[in-house]
Every structure is written in C-alpha cells, then in structure tokens.
A and B are shown apart, each in its own frame.
Chain A
Amino acid sequence: MTGATDHRVVRPTTSAIMLGNRWDHFLARWAINRSGHRVAPGLYALGKPTADSPVFVSANYTLSFDALREALAGRDSYILVLDTDGINVWCAAGKGTFGTDELVQRIEATGLKDVVHHRTLILPQLGAPGVAAHLVTKRTQFKIEYGPVRATDLPEYLKTHQATPEMRRVHFPLRDRIVLIPVELVAVLPVLIVVIVLDLIGGFVSSPAIIAAILAGTVLFPILLPWLPTHAFSTKGLILGGIVALPFALIAFLSNPNAAMWLRATGALTWLLTLPPITAFITLNFTGSTTFTSRTGVRREIFAYIPVMAWLFGAGIALTIVRAAIKILGGA
C-alpha cells in the first residue's frame, strides 16, 4: 500500500480459509465483537487476475467475503468489497449500504475501469434489494449480472452464467437455522442471569420454568420452526411455550395433594398463563432472523398477538399475586 488515502491499490487475497478465519467466524456466530468482523473495502486480486478476469462484488463482512473467496478457489478474479459497515450482503442491501451509490463510488474510487477491459460485474443475488442494476449501468457503464444466492453455487453458475431456479431461491434449512442459535442465546443471556440471581437471592422467581420457556424460544424454536403448526410465529411460540409449560403445571398440580383443589388448579394455571407468552415473544422476534417474513405480515402479527401475550402474562402475574396474598393472609 502506498498510503492511507490511495484507494487505487489492489490487495492480494487467496481462497484459503485459515484457522484464524475460522476462529473469526466462530466469534461472529456468537455475536462477540459483533461489528468488528470487517474486511477493508476496496479491490482485491484473487490469484493472478488479468484485465479480462471477472469481477465479483461482496460486502465487507468477513463471513460474506470469505464465503465468496472460498467458492472462487482456482479462479483468477477480482473481488470488489463494498463498505457495508461490517454487515452481510442481504441485511446491508436492505439498509441500502450494499447499494447503488456505494457501488458506483467504489467503482470510481478503485479505478476499476482501468484495471479491467470488460464492463461486467457479478453481484450476489441477495444484494439486489439495494442495487438498481440499470442505474449502475447508466452511471458507470458496468453491466450487472446477478449470480446465485449462495456463493457455493458459483462454480456451477460460472459454467453457463445462467442460474437455475434453485440457485435463485432462498431456503431456510435446519443447518442455517441451527447456526443462529448461539446469537439467540447471547441475546437472552442477561435475562437468564437476572432470573437465576432473583431465584438464588430469595426465590422471587422459579428459574427452571422461566429458563425452560426462554430456551424453548431460543433453542427449540429455530430447530422445530417448519414442523410447528400454524403460520404466525406468535402462535407457533404460544403452542411451543404451552407444551413446555405443561410439565411445570403438572408438577404444581401434583406436588401438593393435600392442598385445596382450587389452590392446586390455580398453581398449575399460573404456569400455563405466564410461560407461553415468554416463549412467544422470543419467537415473534425471531422473524427478523428468517429468510421469508414480510414487513406487512410481521406488522399484522405484532398488532394481533402482542396484546394477547400481554394479557396472558398479566393474568398469570395477577393470579400469582392473588394466590400469594391469600396464602399470606392464611386463607388456605
């Protein structure tokens, strides 16, 4: 590099994913240093590209960049990395940072027109929500070719430069859902800690039941998503939370066989009221991690089911308080 302000530098890169890269991916999957998994934006030379070599465009998120360079093993090519604030291609496209303006500016800043003779860029299909291909062509003369959704399909795609319908589709298979679980867990970690502390310092809450409801939403839900009945994420969560609440309700009902029937029944009922909305709130929030929920659908769900969750949870808490008050007053 000749200087920090010289953008017209072509950095070398390879297709090798080293131990350090794998460690970086692992940390990213656990949301550790979440915005720190970056690649310097600019132009990269993979192998020994010539002025006729293809140009691929990526985001400056290590998981995106590494997936691309790994898929291009053995192909001399250029990779143009956009500045997306360390965010992956699809999310950045949704925000517009993987976008028309950034692409046009990056083409100019790197002097790409002098580096290659041709005028074609291959973009990941999932960058399309941010990039108006026809406007990029108008402003830079570069034609845009949308490649497949997954970088791993690139070798097959590059044989014909025609994507099969399958390469164009986004799925959400078990593997893709499971890799999200660590991030989900990290997100609820503070709540889990508070629940455990509250339980330890005086039994203010019953942590096993609440932890079970939370883990149902963060761990079980991503795994079971396609097999849970109903369409809405909230109702799927209520069902899953209800199943998880059942054993706790049963234990509450059976553990005090000598108590009054109404006390045993309401004890069980508190779990059936409070636990499902905890799970459902988490599963509703999982919509943003999926590959298929629409804004219209999620908005409708929020209006339809947040009040239901609040009422169930509120009723459960009210019932708990009433039961405690009656017990203290010696009513039972």
Chain B
Amino acid sequence: MVGVSALNTLKFDAEACTGCGICVDVCPHGVFAQNSRTIYVVHGDACMECGACQVNCPFGAIQVDSGVGCAAAMIAAALTRKQQATCG
C-alpha cells in the first residue's frame, strides 16, 4: 500500500490490483485512470475519501480512511462524544 497524496488517506497497492477498472467507474473525481489492464492514480489530490473504490475493489488493492468531509457533522460528533460523524 502506497499513499498517493499528502491531502488524504488514499493508498493504492499496484501489486494486488488486477486492472478490473471498477475504481475508475465509481470514483466521482477521476482519481484513477486505466490503460489496458493497468490502473494509475492520476489525480490523487482530488480524493474526497468517499470510500467507493475501496468498497468496490474485489482484491483489496485500495485503502482509504473514508468518512464524511463535513465540519458540522464532525463538530457535532465531537460535542456528543460519538465515534462516527454522519449527517442527518
């Protein structure tokens, strides 16, 4: 697992990757790109840690500490001593 950006927790393991391309499909910010059966991280700084790639990767080649990037939810969670910050 190799970190791809100082701005987030996304890690990619090129060894475990089979090049199926599901990460390219699910990422809403174009972080991944595919060239035949090889996946490249092309826009690592844009990762918003939604977790779609990790959840959908069948080979465990992606790790990200996912969660909502929402200050209101995180402040509320801190104030109510909840572990997980969520909306609504």
A contact set with B: CB distance below 8 Å: 35, 85, 87, 91, 93-95, 125-126, 128-134, 146, 149, 163, 165, 168-170, 233, 284-285, 287-299, 301-302
CA distance A297 to B50 in the complex (A): 13
**Cβ 8 A contact of A95, one of B48, B65, B69, B86:** B86
Which residues from chain B contact A288 at a C-beta distance below 8 Å? 68-73, 87
Q: A125-B26, A129-B50, A131-B56 are in contact. Are A297 and B7 (CB under 8 A)?
A: yes
Assuming A292-B46, A295-B85, A298-B69, what are 17 further A-B pairs, CB within 8 angstroms?
A129-B26, A129-B50, A130-B55, A134-B58, A168-B24, A168-B28, A233-B71, A284-B71, A287-B69, A289-B70, A291-B28, A291-B48, A292-B48, A293-B70, A294-B69, A297-B69, A298-B71
Cα distance A170–B26 when bound, in Å?
11
* Residue B41 lies at the interface, judged by CB distance under 8 Å to chain A: no
Q: Quick check: B88 and A298 within 8 Å, CB to CB?
A: no
Does A296 contact B28, Cβ atoms closer than 8 Å?
no
Instruction: Note all chain A residues with C-beta closer than 8 A to B56.
Output: 128, 131-134
- Chain B minimum-CB-distance residue to A138: B58
Contact of A296 among B9, B29, B51 (CB under 8 A): B9
Enumerate chain A residues within 8 angstroms of B55, measured Cβ to Cβ: 128-132
Contact B67 A295 (CB under 8 A): yes
Measured CB to CB, the residues of B under 8 A from A are 7-9, 22, 24-30, 46-52, 55-56, 58, 65-75, 85-88
Contact A295 B87 (CB under 8 A): no
Interchain nearest-CB distance for A217 vs B (Å): 12
Q: B8 to A294, Cβ gap below 8 A? A: yes
**Is the CB–CB distance between B25 and A170 below 8 Å?**
no
Q: How far is the CA of A126 from the CA of B27 in the complex (A)?
A: 9
Whole-angstrom distance from the CB of B54 to the nearest CB of chain A?
Answer: 9
Complex Cα distance A93/B50, Å?
9
Cβ of B48 and Cβ of A285 under 8 Å apart? no
How close is A65's CB to chain B, nearest CB, in angstroms? Answer: 17
Contact B26 A295 (CB under 8 A): no
A-B contact pairs, 24 of them (CB 8 A): A87-B88, A94-B50, A128-B56, A129-B26, A129-B50, A129-B55, A131-B55, A131-B56, A132-B55, A133-B56, A146-B25, A163-B25, A169-B29, A287-B69, A287-B71, A288-B87, A292-B48, A293-B48, A294-B8, A295-B69, A295-B74, A296-B9, A297-B8, A298-B70
Bound form: Cα–Cα A132–B66 in Å: 14
Given contacts A87-B88, A131-B55, A133-B56, contact A125 B49 (CB under 8 A): no
Tell whether A292 pairs with B71 under 8 Å between CB atoms, given A94-B86, A129-B52: no
Q: Is the pair B66, A129 in contact by a Cβ cutoff of 8 Å?
A: yes
Find the residue from B9, B66, B74, B85 having the highest chain A CB count within 10 A: B74
**A residues near B46, Cβ cutoff 8 Å:** 292
Across-interface contacts of A85 in B (CB, < 8 A): 88
User: B30 to A296, Cβ gap below 8 A?
Assistant: no
A176 CA to B68 CA, complexed, in Å: 19
Alpha-carbon distance A190/B10, docked complex (angstroms): 39
Identify the closest chain B residue to A94 (Cβ). B68
Residues from chain A with a CB closer than 8 A to the CB of B22 are: 133-134
Cα distance, A289 to B88, chains bound together (Å): 12
Known contacts A125-B25, A128-B26, A169-B29: does B71 contact A302 (CB below 8 Å)?
yes
The reply to whether A126 and B7 form a contact with Cβ atoms under 8 Å apart is no
- Which chain A residues border B58 with CB–CB below 8 Å? 134
